[in-house]
């Protein structure tokens, strides 16, 4: 299902300017959100991040239009992954952005499986470094080739996701989500300055953790220090919170960790409240 120019259409095919900078240069952003029974989980945060990201790149998005697109698609199914894409639009040949951009916004929806939420996974440490010096590292831009290649290699090695360290050797993120480690009563996650996207579910976890007896720390961790965590997990908008059962050859009993269990229960409640559904509908 596709939303474009104010209307829904079946399928995902539509006329498109092949000189669009999003297509040619990756000059744009996207957002992925979960929708349950017609409502987008944490809708305000998704819209705000998309609009702020566009502003960082130097073009303007109308938040009302982004919200309209998300809501229109959310109403088309019981459980959906909604991707909203924004580009700077077309422009003259070359890298320099046009003085007066004409942004393009469209959104698509696809079924999302409840089995994905809270499901354990394994991480493969990729040799591709996350460039923490790039402003793009903290935005959800269209340039995802490093993540694509790392995902290919992780799958070939028998793992579910890739784990990225930055150029200084500090743990940054997974290919599709933020990373956390639990060390006794401390919940540690890499700071945004380490090349980390400000994830929507990441923010929810940082807000929930102190109420559950966990002290939050945003600090840099070399991979060897991260591997000494009692439990590790990944967050994103579709997986929500995924316990990590292994990072490379290092196993973790994350699924059985009581602190992680409390976080899962609390996050399930927050998603249910955001979407106006019963908790079992979340997963």
Rg (CA), the chain: 19
Which residues have C-beta within 8 Å of that of residue 35, sequence separation ≥ 6? 41, 70, 73, 74, 77, 79, 80, 81, 82, 109, 275
240-260: pLDDT as tens digits: 999 999 999 999 999 999 999
Phi, psi values for residue 130, rounded to 5°: -80, 125
87-98: pLDDT as tens digits: 999 989 999 999
Tallying the residues shown for the chain, one arrives at: 283
Dist. CA 17–CA 53, nearest whole Å: 23
Q: What is the mean pLDDT of residues 222-250?
A: 98
Dist. CA 45–CA 55, nearest whole Å: 15
155-187: pLDDT as tens digits: 999 999 999 999 999 999 999 999 999 999 999
Q: How many CB atoms lie within 10 A of CB 185?
A: 10
Helix (H) or strand (E) run with residue 218 in it: strand 215-218
Q: What domains sit in the chain, N to C, each tagged with a CATH number?
A: 2-112 (3.30.470.10), 121-281 (3.20.10.10)
Please answer whether residues 65 and 5 qualify as being in contact, where contact means their C-beta atoms are separated by less than 8 angstroms.
no
Dist. CA 261–CA 245, nearest whole Å: 14
Dist. CA 80–CA 78, nearest whole Å: 7
Dist. CA 280–CA 278, nearest whole Å: 6
Q: What is the mean pLDDT of residues 196-212?
A: 98
Start-to-end CA span in the chain (Å): 23
The pLDDT of residue 48: 98
Dist. CA 230–CA 180, nearest whole Å: 11
The whole-model pTM stands at 0.96
15-31: pLDDT as tens digits: 999 999 999 999 999 99
Beta strand 2-4 with 171-174 is unpaired
Percent of the chain with pLDDT over 90: 99
């Amino acid at each position: 299902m596709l939303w474009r120019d104010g209307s829904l259409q079946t399928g995902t095919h539509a006329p498109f300017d092949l000189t669009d900078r999003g297509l040619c240069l990756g000059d744009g952003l996207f957002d992925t959100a979960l929708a349950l029974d017609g409502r987008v989980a944490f809708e305000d945060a998704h819209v705000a991040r998309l609009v702020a990201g566009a502003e960082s790149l130097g073009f303007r998005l109308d938040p009302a239009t982004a919200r309209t697109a998300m809501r229109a698609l959310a109403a088309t199914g019981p459980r959906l992954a909604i991707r909203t894409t924004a580009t700077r639009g077309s422009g003259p040949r070359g890298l320099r952005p046009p003085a007066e951009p004409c942004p393009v916004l469209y959104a698509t929806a696809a079924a999302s499986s409840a089995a994905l939420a809270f499901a354990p996974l394994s991480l493969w440490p990729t040799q591709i470094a996350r460039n923490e010096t790039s402003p793009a590292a903290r935005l959800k831009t269209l340039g995802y080739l490093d993540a694509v290649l790392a995902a290919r290699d992780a799958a070939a090695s028998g793992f579910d996701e890739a784990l990225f360290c930055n150029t200084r050797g500090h743990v940054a993120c997974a290919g599709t989500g933020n990373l956390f480690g639990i060390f006794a009563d401390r919940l540690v996650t890499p700071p945004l300055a380490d090349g980390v996207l400000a994830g929507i579910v990441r923010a929810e976890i940082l807000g929930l953790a102190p109420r559950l007896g966990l002290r939050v720390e945003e600090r840099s961790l070399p991979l060897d220090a991260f591997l000494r965590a009692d439990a590790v997990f990944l967050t994103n908008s579709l997986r929500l919170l995924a316990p990590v059962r292994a990072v490379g050859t290092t196993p973790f009993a994350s699924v059985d960790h009581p602190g992680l269990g409390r976080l899962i229960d609390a996050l399930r409640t927050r998603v249910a409240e955001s979407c106006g559904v019963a908790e079992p509908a979340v997963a």
